[in-house]
Amino acid sequence: MDTSALADLAFDPLDPVALTQALVRCASVTPHEGGALALIDAVLSPAGYRVERPVFGEPGTPDVENLYARIGTQAPVFVIAGHTDVVPVGDAAAWTRDPFSGAVEGGLLHGRGACDMKGGLAAMMAAALRFRRDNPQAPGSIAFLITGDEEGPAINGTAKLLAWAHERGERFDHCLLGEPTNPAAMSDMIKIGRRGSLTGELVVHGKQGHVGYPHLAENPIRGMVRLLAALDAEPLDGGTPYFDASNLEFTTVDVGNPASNVVPAQARAVFNIRFNDIWTPDTLAQELERRLAQAAGNSVRYVLTCKPTNAVAFLTQPGPFVAMVADAVEAQTGQRPALSTTGGTSDARFIKSYCPVVEYGVVGQTMHQVNECVAVADLLTLEAITHRLLTAYFEAPAAPDPQ
């Protein structure tokens, strides 16, 4: 490691708190890079990493800058993944501090992205830097896979970065994604999979008319009520050993009718399903269509549209790598974390096609909220856990995980 080059930085990059502060001060609201990837480049390049920052785009979407860095040339390749983009701050006047200040007060580091997920990324970077400083001859390689498009449409980010790296011959053995997985304490939870997400739009067609002459109209609301009841009548499944039951939630029902004496022409409903690994988007859409067709019979005219999705359910089967992560958490915190697949989607859904991936990060209670913050103690704990994991991994690389 070229420590003289690192000395040019205004902070110690091996300090996860200082590194988090520096990243939070970069206003990298999706899709803007905001200086965050440039900062990471300035930290990793002097430490011996080969850093590349490809920009991806396609018509109708904003161009997004990403970062790939690697030190070492041999297997195994341990990947640390994450994102530097953050959600908008909303009403800045509602914040008690500048959302991009990175201020540390009362044991908390404040700012947009402190929790999700610049704090997690900074702690893991600091751990990787410390590990390579102390173990310059360690076998294998460490790589960073960082996007600026996780909080946005996730089109020009991790999915394309993975394909770009693969085309260049990069091969990965295991990945740790630093999303804020812990509900309340750093010993709580490792995520070994994620549910899929499918959004559907249901339109029921009727015939507009006067409410005083119902025989001349066809009210779509009655049909909509029948179809919604059919979708919700029976559970989609009972869950699996590692997944809760799939869950359907209606998010809007609209007729767009301002008049109380007019039968509307159509009714529209939107729903979202978070589904487990029993289903694929295609088989789930088929089940929805079956339920609707049975309930509609010949009397309800409807159209179901399931939106394209890249969020499919997946599971990293518990095995040596999952156990190694759990061991590191337990060794540092004194408690063994639960293995979970709860929550929303993450970029792990893309990474899982290239190597086994698990997620572990800081406590996520304030992510996306006004006055987002992370505990300084949690950053230090995550840095120590990651260092333990890297030490164990490169001393005895994880055996092949179950498929």
Residue (of 288, 276, 282, 272) closest to 231 by Cα position: 288
Per-residue H/E/C for the chain: CCHHHHCCCCCCCCCHHHHHHHHHCCCCECCCCCCHHHHHHHHHHHHCCEEECCEECCCCCCCEECEEEEECCCCCEEEEEEECCECCCCCHHHCCCCCCCCCEECCEEECCCHHHHHHHHHHHHHHHHHHHHHCCCCCCEEEEEEECCCCCCCCCCHHHHHHHHHHCCCCCCEEEECCCCECCCCCCEEECEECEEEEEEEEEECECEECCCHHHCECHHHHHHHHHHHHHCCCCCCCECCECCCEEEEEEEECCCCCCCEECCEEEEEEEEEECCCCCHHHHHHHHHHHHHHHHCCCCEEEEEECCCCCCCEECCCCHHHHHHHHHHHHHHCCCCEEECCCCCCCHHHHCCCCCEEECCCECCCCCCCCCEEEHHHHHHHHHHHHHHHHHHHHCCCCCCCC
- What is the distance between the alpha carbons of residues 30 and 313, in angstroms, rounded to a whole number? 25
Is 254 considered catalytic here? no
Q: How far is CA 279 from its chain centroid?
A: 20
Catalytic residue of the set 33, 65, 149, 150: 150
Catalytic residue of the set 33, 65, 85, 151: 85
Is 85 considered catalytic here? yes
- What is the distance between the alpha carbons of residues 399 and 403, in angstroms, rounded to a whole number? 12
List active site positions: 85, 150
